[in-house]
Every structure is written in C-alpha cells, then in structure tokens.
C-alpha cells in the first residue's frame, strides 16, 4: 500500500528557489505578460478555432488521444482546464505576434545575412604533425591515396573513423573562423591545404557546398530568432519586482476551449 506524501504550495515555491529556477520562472511570467499586453495594444485577437487547433496539436505531441488521458495529464501537471487554456492562448498569441511583427522582415534579413545560411558537406582528419598533414595532402591531391584511407588510418575515434571523418552538413557558425574561411571559399569536391588551429592540423575534404535558399525551415528559424531577440529586448526594458506572496493567476476569461473526446 502506497504512503501519502503531502506537499504544500510553500514547499513547492521553496523547491523552486533551491533549484535556482526563480530567474527562469520570472522570465516566463514576464514573457506571458508582455505577449498579452502587446497583443492587446496591436488589436491581435485569438479565435476559438485557432485555440482548438493548437490544443489538439499539444495533445498529439503528448500522445493524449483520449479524454481520460488528457485529464490525467492535466492532473499530473496540476493544471486546471482554465490554466491549460491560458497556456494554449500564450502559444497561439506568440505565433501571431511573431508573424505580425516580423513576417515582412524575414526576406530582407535573409538577403543581408544569406552567407550565414550556406552549408558545407565535409570530411575531416585532425593531425598533430604539420609535415605529415602536408604529405597526405599532396598524396590525396595526386590520387596516390584516398581521403577515406587517410581517415581510416589516422582517426582514433572509432565511430568517426568508420564514417571516414564525416562531419556532416555544417554552417559557417559551426566551424572555427580560420576553417570556415577556407571551406566556404572552396568549390567542392576538393581537398583543402592543411589548416593549423589550436586543435591541431586539419585535413579537410569538401564534398559539396549548399548555397543558401529561403525555404520554410530557414524562414521559420529567422522569424523565431527575430521574435526571440525582440522579446529579450522587451524584457530588458523592465525592472521586475518580485512579490512571492501575491496570488495573480493571470487567467484570461475570454479564452474558451473544448477538450474533445477524439482527434
């Protein structure tokens, strides 16, 4: 038979303090208030249909396919239906605000920063000896040995050796500046002259350069980044006063949402 353990509201708050989560919690509260206030100022409204779609998506993500599953999930997280509705509202209004504020700024931002969205498919072997690296570079360039053979012989890491030194599809920001400059100046496929960094001497095979293209994934990332930066700036404008004894639940009485029996 299980034992009953009672946890008070004060103990929950105390645990949040002990876990050093107060700053993130406060930031979350500030974010919610800023979103709600800005949406009201701009006249952005959330329709019931939009809330329902978002709620259904949340249920799908959490595999809540039955009404009972949803109620158990709410209970687990100590959420009332009204609080769940408030959470869904914040998600929807955040998305609508991002679109309203920055949808027309995505393409100009991409044009200005498109080099940041170029990618390279590359392989790499890091050596300790500059002379050895140059010797292998010339041998590969002349076709006397293949890059996979070099990788198999000189890479210590088992998994990396098995993939022939494959680093994946990388952006400029994922590489050290001195490596990035040489890699993105290549045409591919080609072997690059060894590059010395603090990590060693890098022997790199550039397989392909992927030119930047404003697809939906990149569009979404830019929109999210612009909105996050704006939100960060908004939060920094406020001097936040913490009242730990207050009881402001911030509920939104205009939000009405159904927990449907099926999807």
Full pLDDT tens readout for the chain, 263 residues: 678 889 898 999 999 999 999 989 999 999 999 999 999 999 999 999 999 999 999 999 999 999 999 999 999 999 999 999 999 999 999 999 999 999 999 999 999 998 889 999 999 999 999 999 999 999 999 999 999 999 999 999 999 999 999 999 999 999 999 999 999 999 879 999 999 999 999 999 999 999 999 999 999 999 999 999 999 999 988 777 766 654 444 444 333 344 443 33
Please report the pLDDT score of residue 254 as a whole number.
Answer: 39
Q: How far apart are CA 81 and CA 258, in angstroms?
A: 9
The pLDDT value given to residue 259: 40
* Per-residue confidence (pLDDT) for residue 4, from 0 to 100: 86
The pLDDT value given to residue 115: 86
Distance of CA 47 to the CA centre of its chain: 27
3-state SS of 200-239 is: EEEEEEEEEEECCCCCHHHHHHHHHHHHHHHHHHHHHCCC
Task: List the structure tokens of 130.
Answer: 């500059």
Alpha-carbon distance of 144 to 205, in angstroms, equals 15
What pLDDT is recorded for position 246?
A: 45
pLDDT at 70: 93
Write the burial class of residue 124 (CB in 10 Å: 0-12 exposed, 13-18 middle, 19+ buried): buried
Distance, in Å, from the CA atom of 213 to the CA atom of 117, rounded to the nearest integer, reads: 8
- Using only C-alpha atoms, the chain has a radius of gyration, in whole angstroms, of 26
Q: How much is the pLDDT for 2?
A: 73
Q: Which pLDDT score, from 0 to 100, does residue 238 have? A: 79
> What's residue 188's pLDDT?
79
- How many residues can be counted in the chain? 263
Q: What is the pTM of this model?
A: 0.70
Rounded to whole angstroms, the Cα distance separating 198 from 180 reads 15
* Residue 130: partners with Cβ closer than 8 Å, 6 or more residues away: 194, 196, 201
Q: What is the DSSP letter of 170?
A: E
């Amino acid at each position: 038979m299980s034992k009953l353990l009672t946890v008070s509201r004060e103990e929950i708050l105390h645990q949040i303090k002990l876990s050093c989560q107060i700053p993130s919690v406060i930031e979350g509260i500030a974010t919610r208030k800023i979103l709600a206030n800005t949406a009201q100022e701009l006249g952005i409204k959330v329709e019931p249909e939009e809330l329902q779609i978002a709620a259904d998506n949340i249920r799908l993500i959490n595999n809540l396919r039955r009404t009972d599953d949803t109620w158990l999930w709410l209970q687990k997280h100590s959420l009332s239906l009204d609080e769940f509705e408030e959470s869904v509202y914040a998600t929807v209004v955040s998305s609508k605000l991002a679109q309203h504020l920055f949808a027309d700024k995505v393409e100009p931002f991409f044009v200005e920063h498109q080099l940041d969205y170029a990618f390279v498919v590359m392989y790499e072997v890091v050596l300790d000896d500059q002379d050895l690296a140059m010797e292998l570079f010339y041998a590969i360039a002349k076709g006397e040995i293949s890059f996979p053979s070099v990788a198999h012989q000189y890479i210590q890491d088992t998994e990396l050796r098995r993939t022939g030194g494959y680093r994946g599809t990388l952006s400029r920001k994922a590489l050290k500046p001195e490596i990035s400059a040489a890699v993105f100046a290549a045409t591919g496929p080609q072997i690059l002259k060894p590059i010395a960094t603090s990590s060693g001497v890098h022997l790199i095979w550039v397989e392909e350069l992927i030119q930047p293209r404003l697809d939906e994934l990149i569009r979404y990332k830019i929109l999210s980044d612009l909105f996050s930066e704006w939100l960060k700036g908004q939060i920094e404008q406020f001097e936040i006063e913490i009242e730990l004894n207050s009881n402001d639940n911030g509920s939104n009485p205009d939000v009405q949402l159904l927990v449907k029996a099926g999807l």
